[in-house]
């Protein structure tokens, strides 16, 4: 794009006032105008997409960064998957958004399209998991979301308040009270 600005291609001449000027043909000027118009159109499109994401985030019930990993349930007749958390750190930071009847997983908060999504109607269980202690001594609070398709999202955060908020909100949204394991301090009122 804008390859006309290559120093070798521009015909420089000296003006009457001592300043250098560029002389372009009508075709080169029109090419630049069309490239600028295309860039302005792309900028307007991207701004519209960002405004749409902003509207979604403003109306979202919950959103925030969590560390997430996905696990599949074993199929009938298959052995249970080996899950050795000590050797493999497969927790990836993801930006989760609970909007309407869906949970969206974005790679980052500025992505225009989600990497994955799950309908709340597909969620069969939500619950707390034991805390993880990292090698650096940090504690992560965890919860899981299981779907009817056998996919289990395990989510964690260094913030207990954030995890508790997600658990309570998902409980309210899905009305999974019989399957829901609430932390002790959330059930006390």
CB atoms closer than 10 angstroms to residue 97: 22
Query: If DSSP codes are grouped into helix, strand and coil, which group holds residue 122?
Result: helix
What pLDDT sits at residue 7? 47
Whole-angstrom distance, CA of residue 22 vs CA of residue 157: 57
Per-residue pLDDT at 72: 86
62: left (phi over 0), alpha (psi -120 to 50) or beta: beta
Residues in the chain predicted with pLDDT less than 70, given as ranges, are 1-18, 52-53, 56-59, 75, 78-88, 174-189
pLDDT of residue 14: 61
Measured CA to CA, the distance from residue 109 to residue 186 in angstroms comes to 28
SS3 state at 48: helix
Q: What's residue 159's pLDDT?
A: 93
- The C-alpha atoms of residue 144 and residue 23 are separated, in whole angstroms, by 65
What DSSP letter does each residue of 28-43 carry, written as one string?
A: HHHHHHHHHHHHHHHH
Length of the chain equals 189
């Amino acid at each position: 794009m804008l390859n006309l600005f290559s120093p070798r291609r521009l015909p420089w001449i000296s003006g009457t006032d001592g300043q250098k000027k560029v002389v372009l043909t009508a075709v080169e000027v029109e090419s630049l105008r069309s490239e600028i118009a295309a860039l302005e159109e792309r900028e307007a499109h991207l701004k519209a997409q960002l405004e749409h994401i902003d509207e979604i985030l403003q109306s979202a019930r919950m959103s925030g960064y969590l560390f997430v990993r996905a696990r599949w349930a074993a199929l009938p007749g298959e052995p249970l998957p080996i899950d050795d958390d000590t050797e493999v750190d497969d927790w990836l930071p993801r930006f989760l958004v609970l909007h309407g009847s869906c949970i969206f997983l974005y790679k980052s908060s500025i992505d225009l399209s989600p990497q994955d999504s799950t309908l709340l109607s597909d969620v069969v269980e939500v619950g707390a998991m034991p805390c993880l202690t990292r090698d650096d001594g940090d504690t992560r609070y965890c919860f899981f979301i299981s779907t009817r398709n056998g996919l289990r999202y395990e989510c964690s955060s260094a913030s207990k308040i954030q995890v508790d908020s997600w658990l309570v909100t998902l409980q309210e949204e899905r009305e999974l009270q019989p399957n829901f394991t609430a932390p002790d301090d959330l059930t006390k009122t």
